[in-house]
Every structure is written in structure tokens, then in C-alpha cells.
Chains A and B, each alone.
Chain A
Amino acid sequence: MSRFLPKIPPWVSPVVIGLLVLLFAFTQDSFYRLQLGTLSGIYAVAAIGLTLLFGAAGQISLGQAGLLGIAAFGTAYLTVDRGLGPVLSGVVSIAAATVVGLLLGWSALRITGHYLALVTLAFGLCFTELGRTVLPEGWYGVPPLAIGSLDLGDPQRFFVVVWVFVVLTLVASSLLVRSRFGRSIAALRDDPVAASACGVNLARTKVAVFGIASALAGVSGWLFAMYQGSVTETSFSFTLSFNLLIMVVIGGLGSPTGAVAGAVFLVLAPELGRSYEQYRLLSYGLILILVLALLPGGLASIGRLIAKPLRRRRAGVEETA
């Protein structure tokens, strides 16, 4: 996963993205484009979590949307019904999503691959059906984000807040990927038997990675509740779980920055086909198939495709010896 992390220090890409965000935020007058930017940022946070879980640790999850849903429902319930502040309700809901994620991780210890994918899918569907059965109306009127008296609900400010979360998550995950823990989850993915022989406690590592991914999904769900204002299970269906997985795959497995690129791409792809409104989803399905067939490494691998000839020339004799 951290296949030969490039020589560029880890903080470069988050800073570049941060500047782009500020540039974009204050040149946009249209709510709509701001909203799209905000939505892609919200999904990016969950996508980074999923790329650590799936790209780095090799644990497939098709139920991430359920975790987003838990945090969003929690936030809506605590703010609308209980009148708690957006920040406090966020902390509680994210904790709830994390706990559920840990339980999911713990219960999935004995199974891998397809079976893990299907258990997480079942979890996601369970959440959707429960939401539809118990709370079909969900909530509306979730108050916008405000820290103390500072109202961050205005689209421009909220856009920046969301992308601050994205950049922070990006920096943290890039550092984590390089740390001892990052290496252990890569080892877990590549060869669990050898990883265990090297002293990696497989069970604890798997559950921890599930926890991290769920916490990030929780942050994403919290932000989504405030972004959307009205929360029902339709926003957290299995389609969202698949979209997150596709963002990670298209972005390049295991690369946090790739996940961000995947999120922006997926929210944006339907926009590019805007004039053919009804062909939008059809083209989006085809785009998915093409990227999988032609670019297995995802967007991030475009670099490797270009870099390969460069590296061989630079490496000179040693490479071909």
C-alpha cells in the first residue's frame, strides 16, 4: 500500500489541496458549486477512512454508509429532539459510530474477503431497513454548525470547515501510513501469517483499523447531517457504501490523497454529463467499468504509468542487471 512512498514529504499534498480549497471557496458566488464542493469534502473524509481499512489493511467493507447513518441520525436526534449543541452532539454521535465500527471489526475477525464484504453489506442493509421501519420520517431542521457564537452554517464558511477536516484527516492518515502502525496494517494486508510471526497482533490491529475507519465515517455522517439539514435513511443506503468503495478504488487503493481525488471525481462526474441529464447515471456506470479495466491502480496510478519509463531511464544499468 505505501508502495515506495514518494520522496515528496507527506505534508505537501494536504497544503496544496488546502490552498486550492481557499482559492475555490472565495471565488465562488454560486451556492450550488459550493454545495458540491462541500459534499465531496464530506465524502472524502469517509473515503480516507475506507482506504485505510480496505486499501491499507485489506479489510473490505460494504457497509460504511450504515456508520455514516448512525452518526447522522445521532446528530439529528441530539440536536433536533434533545437540543444539544452541534459540537457536543457530534462528539457523541461519532463515538457511537466508532463503537459500532469496533463491534463490526471484532465480529468480523474470523472471516475475510468475500464473507467480510457480505457481513458488512448485511449490516448496512440492516441499518437502512431499521431506519425505514422505525424512523421513516427521519428528522429535518438540523441546525447548522456553530461553535459558541461563531455561526459556521453559511455555505462558504461551512465549505471551508469541511475541507479543514479533510486536510487534517489527510495529514493524519499520510503520517499514520508511514508510522509503525501503518506498516503493520500493510503487513496484515500482504501476508497475515508473516505479519503475526513478526509480532503484529492481528486481532487488535484489525479492530483498531475498523475503529479508525468508523470514526472517520462518523465525522462524515455528522458533517452530512448539518450539510443536508434533513436526515432520513435514503441518504445512507447501500448505494452510498458502494460509492465510497468506488471513490477509494478509482482514487487508488490505499492512497489517502487518491481517496480525496476519488471523492471529488465521483461527486463531479455526474456534473460533467449535466447536459444529458438522463444519461448521467448510465455514463457513471460505464465510467466505473472503464476505470477498473484500464486503471487498476486508480487515478493515483496515472503517476506510476508516466513514471515507469522515467524511472527506468534514470535507474540506468542497475535496474536491468
Chain B
Amino acid sequence: MSVDYPQVLATGLTYGVIFALVALGYHLIYVSSGMLNFALGEQLAVAGLVVLSLMSAGVPFVLALIVAVLAAAAFGAGYERFALRPALRMGLVGPLIASVGVAIVIGQARVLIWGPNPRPFAPFTGAPNESVGFLGGRWPIQSFWIIGLAAVSAAALLLFLRYTWYGRAWRATAQSPVGARLSGIDPSVVSMSAVSVASALVTIAGVAIAPIVLAGGFYALDFGVRAFAAAIIGGFTSTTGVLLGGLFIGLLDAWLVAALSAAWSDVVLYAVLALALLVRPRGFLGREGVSRA
């Protein structure tokens, strides 16, 4: 079974970058509030449809993307405030289950509003399905948009974390919630803004990947769980670790599909996720002690 490595690189990076963005979303929410959020996958899947609807209402693509991202940010803040936080009274498992409730609502609303069938989404530039030779593999043109957009978003976020008040507030809350609270940082604001930014991130990712995987398809779970694997293997607590984790899972997934078969790739991937958790619960780059059990 000769593996076409250049193609594995092409597919692996294209999907890996999306896993990295979603994993970044999990990371932000986890470090700022300790919560696990299962709704990001569904938000990713619905992003493309929102933009399609806006565009069919005459809104130009770039504006539609911006509106979708802002709407997602508002929606994220909303469900953090009214679904996740009230469930905190039961401990950290409350928001986890509440986020499943949110995921179910998004998923069902998607089917009600846009119908069950996925829809084609034109690539940002070039003809649909156009691909170009690069490094020995066939890269869809959209891949370059995806990688570019992801790099820009991740960089913007890293700068945001480093140099803005919000960013410092998040990192402070991550290191020591009590310390942050004592220095005047309101954890509910931090937690809400984290979910809001994470929602924006996965919306960008959703729209970017839509031309390749169709808008509104049934891949919320696939992407969601792979992003979880990326976050864990990268160590939930380290931003760079999570991004590298995303790329690693993307490449691993592509290689598994090429070397084994699509069927066995999922099985092996989940086994790797379980083993990674057992062997190094805090991942390869995460810090000890922030397990917030």
C-alpha cells in the first residue's frame, strides 16, 4: 500500500488547520473557565449555511462573513450566559452537559431552517474544485485560503492574548482564578468573552472549510472530536501546543486514511486519543496541575 505522502501533506494540512482552530476554541474556553464545550462542532457545521443565506439575500461575501462571525460571537456569549453558566451550580460537569443541549438545539435548528441536505459552497477564488500542483500533491485552491485565514486568525488571537487587557485577564484567570478575582477581574466576563471568541473562531473555520466539505453537512461530530483529540494531545493548557496538536491530528488522520482505509482511520484515531489521555493526561506541552478535576 504505497502512501502518496505529498497528498497526505495536502489533505492533512488543510484539515489540520481547521482542527487547530477548533482546538484553539476549546483551549480558550478551558483555560479561562475550566469548562468543556461540546457545541463548537455544530457551530462549525452551521457557519457556511449562515453565510450562504446572507449571500443569497444579496450581501457580498466578505460582509456576509463578518456578519456571520459577529453573530456567532454574540450567540456564543448568549448561550454561555443563559445555558452554560447557570449549569455551573452542579460543578464543571453541568456546563459540559448543557453544551450538549446547545449542540442538539443548533443541530436541529439547522435541519429545520436549512433542511437536512448539505449545500455546495463556492471557493473564495477560482472555479469550484480547481486544484493546483504544489510540493508534489494536488492542492485545492481553497486550501491556501484556509491555511492563510487560519494563520491570520491564530496570530490575531495570540497578539490579543499577549497585548490586550482581555488577553491578560484570560491568562491571569488561567493561571490562578482566585488571584485574578482578587485583582478585580470578573470571571463571568472572562468566561463569556472566551466562548464568544471561540464561537467566532469556529465560524471562520466553518466558512473556510465549507467549499471542500459542503456547508451544513453531518460532520459536526467528526470535526468536534478530532479537535478534542488535538487539544488533549497538545496539552489543554498551552496555546502553541493546541495548535500543533491540530496539525498533528490532521496529518495523522490523512496518513491513516491513506495507509489503512477510511474505515480503520477513525478506530485508530480514537484509540490514539484514549492512549494519549492515559499516558500523558496533560498532553505533551500542557502544564501540570491545571486539570481542574
| Chains A, B in direct contact (C-beta < 8 Å) | yes
The size of the chain B interface, using a CB distance under 8 A, is 43
Interface residues in B259-284 (C-beta closer than 8 Å to A) = 263-264, 266-267, 270-271, 273-274, 277-278, 281
Interface residues in A20-77 (C-beta closer than 8 Å to B) = 54, 60
Q: Are A246 and B97 in contact (CB under 8 A)?
A: yes
Question: Contact partner of A118 among B89, B103, B232, CB < 8 A?
Answer: B232
Which of B82, B97, B229 has the most A CB atoms < 10 Å from its CB? B97
Given A114-B292, A253-B90, A282-B112, A119 and B278 touching (CB < 8 A)?
yes
Given A115-B281, A117-B96, A130-B267, A286 and B274 touching (CB < 8 A)?
no
Interface size class of A (residues with CB under 8 A): 35 or more
Q: Are A132 and B101 in contact (CB under 8 A)?
A: no
Q: Does A179 contact B (CB under 8 A)?
A: no
Question: Contact partner of A122 among B83, B97, B98, B273, CB < 8 A?
Answer: B273
Q: What 1/0 mask marks residues of chain B from 230 to 264 whose CB sits below 8 Å from any chain A CB?
A: 00100000000000000000000000000000011
Given A60-B93, A133-B264, A113 and B292 touching (CB < 8 A)?
yes
What is the distance, in angstroms, from A248's C-beta to the closest C-beta of chain B? Answer: 10
Q: Are B100 and A288 in contact (CB under 8 A)?
A: yes
For the A-B complex, the count of residue pairs with Cβ-Cβ distances under 8 Å equals 126
Q: Does B52 contact A (CB under 8 A)?
A: no
Q: Are A282 and B293 in contact (CB under 8 A)?
A: no
Name B's interface SS: helix
Interface residues in A243-265 (C-beta closer than 8 Å to B) = 245-246, 249, 253
Residues of B within 8 A of A111 (CB): 277-278, 281, 291
Q: Does B102 contact A (CB under 8 A)?
A: yes
What is the distance, in angstroms, from B39's C-beta to the closest C-beta of chain A? Answer: 10
Q: Are A249 and B274 in contact (CB under 8 A)?
A: no
Given A114-B291, A114-B292, A296-B90, A288 and B278 touching (CB < 8 A)?
no
Interface residues in A138-178 (C-beta closer than 8 Å to B) = none
A245 CA / B100 CA spacing, docked (Å): 11
* Residue positions of A touching B, CB distance < 8 A: 54, 60, 107-108, 110-115, 117-119, 121-123, 125-126, 129-130, 132-133, 238, 242, 245-246, 249, 253, 278-279, 281-282, 284-286, 288-289, 292-294, 296
Nearest 10 interchain pairs by C-beta: A113-B293, A285-B104, A293-B86, A288-B101, A122-B274, A285-B105, A112-B293, A292-B87, A133-B263, A129-B266
